[in-house]
Amino acid sequence: MALNNRYPDSLKDLALKNVLHLGRSPSEVAIELDISRSTIYNWLKNERISSRTNKDKFIAARLENELQVVTHEREILATAIKILLRDQKTKVR
């Protein structure tokens, strides 16, 4: 059974910042922080998945909001058409 090595979140954050924001190579950061390269690559993979998921949630919320606005606008237009048609019928009589 393999040991589950847990690193502090602060170390993980530092490693990801060095790679993602400072442009350093994962190998270089792994050596400097005494972490295995595979651990850093796993953190990077999980970070990318998490970022994608957050972006998808943001887009979905925005689309739901836009759908509500468009639905409300459609209801207003349908009501306006009914009023115009009713007014037109009364003018014809």
Q: Is residue 2 part of a domain?
A: no
Give the pLDDT confidence score for residue 55 in this predicted structure: 87
Q: Is residue 41 part of a domain?
A: yes
What domain range is 53 assigned to?
9-92
Q: Is the pTM of this model over 0.75?
A: no
Q: Is residue 83 part of a domain?
A: yes
Q: Is residue 62 part of a domain?
A: yes
For 43-52, the pLDDT digits (tens) are 999 998 888 8
Q: Where are the alpha helices (DSSP H) in 1-93?
A: 9-16, 26-33, 37-92
Give the pLDDT confidence score for residue 54 in this predicted structure: 84
Give the pLDDT confidence score for residue 71 in this predicted structure: 97
Distance linking the first and last C-alpha atoms of the chain:
89
Q: How many domains is the chain partitioned into structurally?
A: 1
Give the pLDDT confidence score for residue 2 in this predicted structure: 43
DSSP 6: -
How would you class 22 by CB atoms within 10 Å of its CB: exposed for 0-12, middle for 13-18, buried for 19 or more? exposed
- Listed as ranges, residues in the chain with pLDDT below 70 are 1-5, 92-93
